[in-house]
Structure 1
Amino acid sequence: MSFVMIKKNYYLALLLCITAFTSVFKATAADVTSFSHDASTLTIQRSDGMSVNIGGLGQGSVEVVYQKEGVSTLPGLALSNDTQSARLQVNTSVQDKGAYLLFNAPDIQVAVEKSPFRLRFMKQGVVKVEEEQGGFIYDGLRGVRFRLNDTEKLYGGGQRVMGMDRRGKRMPLYNRASYGYADVETDQMYYSLPAVMSSKHYAILFDNTAKGNLDIGHTEKNVLQFDAVSGRVAYVVSVADALPELVKQVVSLTGKQPLPPKWALGNFASRFGYRSEQQTREVVSLYNQFDIPLDAVVLDLYWFGPDIKGHMGNLDWDRNAFPTPEKMIADFSAQGVNTVVITEPFILTTSSQYKHAADSRALATNLAGEPRLFDFYFGNTGLVDVFNPDAQDWFWQHYAKLSDQGVSGWWGDLGEPEVHPYDAMHNWEGVTVTGDEVHNAYGHKWAQMVYERTLTKNPQKRPLVLMRSGFLGSQRYGMIPWTGDVARSWGGLKPQVELSLQMSVFGLAYTHSDLGGFAGGEEFDAEMYTRWLQAGVFTPVYRPHAQEHIPPEPVFHDQDTRDIVKRFIQLRYDLLPYNYSLAYENALTGMPLMRPLAFIDSEAYFTHDDSYLWGEAFLVQPVTAPGVSSVSVDLPEGDWFGFFDHKHYEGGGTVEYPLDINTLPVFVKAGAFVPMQPGLKRTRDSHNQPLEIHHWANASGKHSIFTLYEDDGVNPQAIQEAQYIAMQFEASHVNETLQINANTQGQYEGVKQQRPVEWHIHALNTKPTGVAIDGLLSDAWQWDEQKSRLIIKTNLSLSQPMKIDIAL
């Protein structure tokens, strides 16, 4: 068949589909009256006076913006500046097919039905998703509606305890604290995301920051509806062939997470909270005494006041409790321990800074233009207007002073904001807006301020910004979210996989929990605590944190518990080269650290929430029930190996994994490479140190590859300036030989050109008959019969490739 005939058939089929679509919906809001097109955007005028812009954004993605004359909108926040700039370079075309227009952008097409007006989004002629009645704008209500088919499943909405498939759920789009939540369905939490991702491999991002709702087939079975009380009617559609590619596309649009400082992957000492300098020093001393690795200490609200209530907004040290904070911070720094302090955006009328904040017009106002005051748990307060540059200047001066004193990281708490009057007035780019209009953008703008100004002040150091609320794209400001004040219970532990995965697929890849649980708990549950901290090894941030009546730090618990947890914290440090490579991959491509099993098989595992992938190598299943001696684990197709028991497990079904309190269900995929540095106590000590490269041989002979990334752990411009090295490891079977190739590219200041490397080759059936390195037989190897493991000692040159041949 000729190309011309194929093309004719394609458009005929498309026209028939659109005609069938039209016959279903007799009602119409508007028709297309005219259209125009430039290089990247199609602009449509409708009979109801509404205009619609459809713009190409790059790989498989378009933006749709509805505008109505006389109706005000607000700036969009979901798309990064890079995306906004690059869109001008996206070439698109438009074809008028009579009944419809066909907008062609890279890897995505939009069919625009003229009468009645509706949009369909396609990839290679296959419809991925279509509007139901499209955008609507009324006083007090605006949004957009899409059709759902009967079988598709959807992620979406951000932090909620509702199961991975959010189909049939309706949830508020309004960030709000959910104190003491557990595994009971919770439809509103700290960090909502106005976005969905379908098992049909499309994503929709609703770029509106106002109070609203996300209805995924709850009110109407096959209708997806985003709505809000005000703001933009704008959305992004992204389509792909598979879930991992879709995730990378979405993150490329909203902005990739900059590399965190390497110490962010270490162990944090944290609680609510250390009450004095002496107590803080004693805690750090105990970690050293018990030889437990530590990289950070986090100070909760007692650093600025002796009580929970009445002092928020002081934004300066309580010198009675912390007489020499500068020296304390310097002493910790000399030990390789970084200091992180909490701040909140509430300035209490009883705080030392209230008058200055009010006089500086740093606070959101009431309708009379005076500070909008209100009562909440901590006292009578105003709220910093983080949208207003002048208010940002006032707020930032306190961070700048703390930075000069040596503080390394920021913890922004209560940033939903926890209490946000609907009639609190903010100044956003010279426009006065209400609390409800910008509520979901508050944490985003706060994080942007802290990240960008920290980087400007200290351009040689990566900022660390912990915050619990934000918007689509907040990751581009280095935001590291956590899942809030979770119950200290088995029920609190159980939904953490779901919460992190729902965030990570939309770009918030460092979402983590208060390890051990935060809220409540009458007695210390050693088993629950141990299981939570074990699972934490394979999460983005390792930060035990809780109310102080039961200490969250392992140094305060019985020796048996402490010894088990210590081994797992040490494992966290041993895995630093692997974990840091995941951080690099995320910064380069948007791939999350924690990944749903649906990345392997979307159809089979889309709703799976018991286990997850930690990078490419590991499958992890947290133990979320007490007293169990085994757990059932669903293993995808292929060969897997127990990380702790070294046994072979065949995938493609469910396996029963035996347990004791010292082990966790962790499996390594055949073919995986896992670089390690055993014995690390501080992340700063990892540079130029010997490596162990663990490889699990793939009996099926498939080719496998892994890239180890390394830099100085500090430079914010390491990627942009190419100040890093990439060690690429490849394995393949040729005849009766396992071949491993190592090739290093790149450079960074201070890196050594030679590195001792010990290769640990697992999962070999028999002892090798010989080992050759770069073509020469070597005797620098040994065979561990008990673990069927080959150990080879080499020196790896960063300037020359290495080839290892293992005769089997």
Structure 2
Amino acid sequence: MALFSKGQLGRTCLFSLLFFLLSTQYVNARDYVSHQVSGDNLIIQTDDGQITLDYLTDFSVEVSFEPNLGKQSQVTASFSLVEQTEDVKVQLEQSDNQLIFNSKQLSAVIQKSPLNIKYIQQGTLLVREAGGFIANSNTQARGIQFKLAPNEKILGGGERVLGMDRRGNRLPLYNKAHYGYGTESTQMNYGLPAVYSSNQYMILFDNPASGWLDIGKTKADVLAFEAKLGQLTYVVIAGNSFSDLTTQYVNVTGKQPMPPRWALGYIASRFGYHSEQEARETLNLFEQQNFPVDAIIFDLYWFGKDVQGHMGNLAWDNKAFPNPEKMIKDFKQAGVNTVLITEPFILTTSKKWQNAVDNQVLALDKTGNPKTFDFYFGNTGLVDIFKPEAKAWFGNIYHELMQQGIAGWWGDLGEPEVHPADTLHQVNGNTLVADAIHNAYGHEWAKLVYQNQQLNYPNTRPFILMRSGFAGSQRYGIIPWTGDVGRNWDGLKPQVELSLQMSLFGLAYTHSDLGGFAGDNLDEELYLRWLQYGVFQPIYRPHAQEAVAPEPVFHSEKVQNIIRQSVNLRYQLMPYLYTMAFENSQTGKPLMQPVFFASQAPQDIDNKYDYLWGDDFFVSPIINSGVTEKTVDLPEGQWFDFFTDQIYAGGKTQKVAVNLESIPVFVKAGAFVPMVERVENAAHYSSEQLTLHYYHDPKVIKSDGYMYEDDGKTANAFTKGLYEKLKFNATFKPEQAQLNFNFKRDVGAKPYQGMPENRELTLVVHQAVKPRTIRVNQKDVTIAASYQQYQQTNSSAWFNSQTKQLMLKTNWHTQAVEISIK
């Protein structure tokens, strides 16, 4: 439903001009004139402007150019970067021909004439400019070029379906929905002006204006960023590994706050629930058919009975929802959270139109009046999300709804889906045209919702589902999804690629509408495979047009029985998943990791179908119908089939039998996987009864792991010391055939609400050898003769000779637990 205005068509002509300029290598050669150092900044005067290098951290440097072209209009401050509060220790070396500006990790080597900069980490060349900044007053062409190495692979650009290596593509930087996409898409709802290189560096082009990212398309060995408007700024980021690159990136763009635990459970959603009665009946089915559920999302119908004509009401339709506050309260008492969709469009037919006009919250046209235009939903204006008056007006609406009990938000159409080029926005006191700010609209919207919640509900964690944003949006708690994907096998195929690409840039909660969104295709096998994959993606949210129900409770008994197992598994794995969420909040580590993170091998970059789920799982989704056997390329090491315990050697290609009950999932030898019993939802979550699986292999001599716990809802719980880390250690002594465990509880400054004083711990050792003796804290443990005898005792062990699993029960108080198995 994304439409084009005349202004957008004109934009195509403009960028054709830019394409011509760069394809003919039209760049401004410039020469050094003088320099000075100020703090951790190096300021260089050239014959046509000023270049400033500012070390943000030891691993990252920001480079900006201000040309001598008079006042530059449509230039914005940074949206992507967090404020750096400490100067980086730097050193400057100089000679007649060059300057070398160093931090501990990264060097910028500046050639004086013609001026050019290359970047070196610990003696290794990462990347160098190819001609420098472009800034010409006649053509208004603006940009920067870099030299690409011959075999270099380039990832990035945000949500696109092009394969992991995006080299050879010219990508529009203009957030735009792609309805019903499948196996190819060059432009989608969340673009990023940033790249990630196989040569272990990243570049962020810090400009939200409409533009292009040319990755060796026009010229095979040149990476180019182009835009007509906005600042000329880029950031080069280095890292000590591929994974560390992402950590260094979020150190300058911001870390994702922990989501509430309920956000990781099953979320009921469709387009959409038409009434309170329909919503209640649907949730009743979840209960009757024994499906866990943590939240329900209301699409457009909460404020109007029709899709068209009501957008912007932003208040309950009391005919369809006669008592929303009671409904929300009833759901909450059952542990189900309520989430509402909102959009930034206020239709001229909506109940809030005149109020929005009177409060001056809408973007304007050139005459100073609210800009109005037609799109699918009706004649509309657009909230000027950058304007203080609009922030206050919109924020007050969110505040009033949260007072009713709303727990989370869905921001839709936030590209914005239709954004005429002549629309005027007020940004930091400046009037900017739409093209100067388009790609930051969703980012600023997420910021508004996040900061409004921080102000009014400082102890509540955010749930902010957004279709569009910018670099750095993760620090505002944004949970992106991959747009209106086609409900077919071609729609399922690119989902791993999309999530991996976004996760490299800190957007680790990127996920798909499970089952597919667009169309009326009823394919039970496709539905099963998509929802089975969903167990191992960041957010579990089936969502679709209502021609085919996205909720499993409306499908056949066969489908329900299989999906129920998958959803229950999602909840059983909550301790593992929640620990990944914690790690992401601290380091930016993705929940879904590309396999090259583990191998550090550039050739693995091209794998767009398989991934690591945290550090310990390898997942290979089924993306075609009728599959009974799949070939997988396992990473190095030994791997256990998660469902059968069969062991596979890594570092080679393996053939794996596939059935309809599950997808190929493997666990790394030496891994600790904590699990809990299946619960109705996060409101009933407890780790008081904890099962800890250890995947034993004689080649793994030492292994460590941990599990993070808090109350699942308090904002900044870790910073406040309201947490607990359960630390696991295993040591194997081959000469004695002895396996030792040591478990410790590391409690924060004080116990969090609901923290168990004692845990009933069940240790499950996979691929164990029948033990002769077992000791827990120096005391012998009885080895039961049968499983029935094992179940009847509080502290005992049992070895299953058929599965080769050893099960051990013990109580885990505050003191450490030491276990010795011979």
Q: What is the SS of the residue equivalent to 1:455? A: helix
> Which of 77, 85, 93 matches 1:75?
77
Using the alignment, how far apart are the partners of 2:33 and 2:230 within structure 1? 25
* Residue number in structure 2 paired with 1:742: 743
Does the alignment pair 1:775 with 2:778? yes
1:769, CA displacement in angstroms? 2.0
* Residue number in structure 2 paired with 1:281: 280
Equivalences for residues 288-303 of structure 1 within 5 A? 288-303=287-302
- What amino acid does structure 2 have at the position aligned with 1:75? A
Q: What is the SS of the residue equivalent to 1:328? A: helix
* Residue number in structure 2 paired with 1:577: 575
Q: What is the SS of the residue equivalent to 2:44? A: strand
Instruction: Deviation per CA, 1:578-622: give whole Å up to 9, x if none.
Output: 000000000011101000001012323111111100001100011
Say whether the 8 Å CA contact 1:31–1:46 is kept in structure 2. yes
Equivalences for residues 274-423 of structure 1 within 5 A? 274-423=273-422
1:749, CA displacement in angstroms? 2.4
Q: What is the SS of the residue equivalent to 2:63? A: strand
Cα separation, partners in 2 of 1:28 and 1:418, compared to 1, 3 Å: closer
Using the alignment, how far apart are the partners of 2:449 and 2:28 within structure 1? 47
Cα separation, partners in 2 of 1:31 and 1:702, compared to 1, 3 Å: farther
Q: What is the SS of the residue equivalent to 1:85? A: coil
Using the alignment, how far apart are the partners of 2:579 and 2:182 within structure 1? 32
Say whether the 8 Å CA contact 1:28–1:116 is kept in structure 2. no
Say whether the 8 Å CA contact 1:489–1:521 is kept in structure 2. no
* Residue number in structure 2 paired with 1:145: 145
Using the alignment, how far apart are the partners of 2:341 and 2:273 within structure 1? 12
Say whether the 8 Å CA contact 2:27–2:132 is kept in structure 1. no
- What amino acid does structure 2 have at the position aligned with 1:35? H
TM-score with structure 2 length normalisation? 0.93
* Residue number in structure 1 paired with 2:696: 697
* Residue number in structure 2 paired with 1:10: none
* Residue number in structure 2 paired with 1:18: none
* Residue number in structure 2 paired with 1:465: 464
Instruction: Deviation per CA, 1:661-690: give whole Å up to 9, x if none.
Output: 002100001111111002222112223521
Q: What is the SS of the residue equivalent to 1:562? A: helix
Cα separation, partners in 2 of 1:59 and 1:728, compared to 1, 3 Å: farther
Using the alignment, how far apart are the partners of 2:119 and 2:797 within structure 1? 57
> Which of 555, 558, 564 matches 1:557?
555
Instruction: Deviation per CA, 1:208-249: give whole Å up to 9, x if none.
Output: 000000011011000000111210111111112320111111
Using the alignment, how far apart are the partners of 1:293 and 1:106 within structure 2? 51
Using the alignment, how far apart are the partners of 1:701 and 1:471 within structure 2? 42
* Residue number in structure 2 paired with 1:803: 818
Q: What is the SS of the residue equivalent to 1:65? A: strand
Say whether the 8 Å CA contact 2:511–2:538 is kept in structure 1. yes
* Residue number in structure 2 paired with 1:530: 528
1:777, CA displacement in angstroms? 2.1
Using the alignment, how far apart are the partners of 1:142 and 1:112 within structure 2? 21
1:741, CA displacement in angstroms? 1.5
* Residue number in structure 1 paired with 2:686: 687
Q: What is the SS of the residue equivalent to 2:765? A: strand
- What amino acid does structure 2 have at the position aligned with 1:790? L
Say whether the 8 Å CA contact 1:677–1:691 is kept in structure 2. yes
5+ long unaligned stretches in structure 1 = 1-24
Using the alignment, how far apart are the partners of 1:664 and 1:145 within structure 2? 43
Using the alignment, how far apart are the partners of 2:77 and 2:501 within structure 1? 25
Say whether the 8 Å CA contact 1:484–1:513 is kept in structure 2. yes
Using the alignment, how far apart are the partners of 2:251 and 2:821 within structure 1? 40
- What amino acid does structure 1 have at the position aligned with 2:156? G
Say whether the 8 Å CA contact 1:28–1:115 is kept in structure 2. no
* Residue number in structure 2 paired with 1:788: 804
> Which stretch shifts more, 683-692 or 289-298?
683-692
Using the alignment, how far apart are the partners of 1:157 and 1:763 within structure 2? 44
Equivalences for residues 584-663 of structure 1 within 5 A? 584-601=582-599, 602-663=601-662
* Residue number in structure 1 paired with 2:759: 755
Using the alignment, how far apart are the partners of 1:474 and 1:392 within structure 2? 17
Q: What is the SS of the residue equivalent to 1:288? A: helix
> Which stretch shifts more, 237-246 or 509-518?
237-246
Instruction: Deviation per CA, 1:22-44: give whole Å up to 9, x if none.
Output: xxx99971111000012311110
- What amino acid does structure 1 have at the position aligned with 2:212? N
* Residue number in structure 2 paired with 1:56: 55
Q: What is the SS of the residue equivalent to 1:95? A: strand
Instruction: Deviation per CA, 1:474-497: give whole Å up to 9, x if none.
Output: 000000000000000000000000
1:767, CA displacement in angstroms? 1.1
Using the alignment, how far apart are the partners of 1:207 and 1:806 within structure 2? 56
Report % sequence identity. Answer: 47
Say whether the 8 Å CA contact 1:28–1:117 is kept in structure 2. no
Instruction: Deviation per CA, 1:530-587: give whole Å up to 9, x if none.
Output: 0000000001000000000100000001000011001100000000000000000000
Using the alignment, how far apart are the partners of 1:491 and 1:144 within structure 2? 36
5+ long unaligned stretches in structure 2 = 1-24, 783-795
Say whether the 8 Å CA contact 1:39–1:93 is kept in structure 2. no
Using the alignment, how far apart are the partners of 1:283 and 1:682 within structure 2? 16
Using the alignment, how far apart are the partners of 1:448 and 1:698 within structure 2? 47
Using the alignment, how far apart are the partners of 2:506 and 2:643 within structure 1? 31
* Residue number in structure 1 paired with 2:503: 504
Instruction: Deviation per CA, 1:772-803: give whole Å up to 9, x if none.
Output: 21232222211122221111111112x32222
Using the alignment, how far apart are the partners of 2:701 and 2:244 within structure 1? 22
- What amino acid does structure 2 have at the position aligned with 1:805? S
Instruction: Deviation per CA, 1:395-440: give whole Å up to 9, x if none.
Output: 1121111111111100000000000011110001101101100000
- What amino acid does structure 1 have at the position aligned with 2:741? I
1:719, CA displacement in angstroms? 1.9
Equivalences for residues 99-498 of structure 1 within 5 A? 99-139=97-137, 140-183=140-183, 185-498=184-497
Does the alignment pair 1:546 with 2:547? no
Instruction: Deviation per CA, 1:102-149: give whole Å up to 9, x if none.
Output: 101131011000011000100112111110112112343211100001
Using the alignment, how far apart are the partners of 1:494 and 1:152 within structure 2? 25
Using the alignment, how far apart are the partners of 1:141 and 1:684 within structure 2? 55
Say whether the 8 Å CA contact 1:159–1:503 is kept in structure 2. yes
Using the alignment, how far apart are the partners of 1:98 and 1:753 within structure 2? 69
Say whether the 8 Å CA contact 1:695–1:762 is kept in structure 2. yes
Instruction: Deviation per CA, 1:628-673: give whole Å up to 9, x if none.
Output: 1011111011100100121000011111110110021000011111
Instruction: Deviation per CA, 1:306-362: give whole Å up to 9, x if none.
Output: 000000000000000000111110000000000001000000000000011011110
Equivalences for residues 85-104 of structure 1 within 5 A? 85-86=85-86, 89-104=87-102
Say whether the 8 Å CA contact 2:28–2:134 is kept in structure 1. no
Instruction: Deviation per CA, 1:464-517: give whole Å up to 9, x if none.
Output: 100010000100000000000000000000000000000001000000000000
* Residue number in structure 1 paired with 2:17: none
TM-score with structure 1 length normalisation? 0.94
Say whether the 8 Å CA contact 1:640–1:650 is kept in structure 2. yes
Using the alignment, how far apart are the partners of 1:561 and 1:391 within structure 2? 46
Say whether the 8 Å CA contact 1:181–1:485 is kept in structure 2. yes
Q: What is the SS of the residue equivalent to 1:451? A: helix
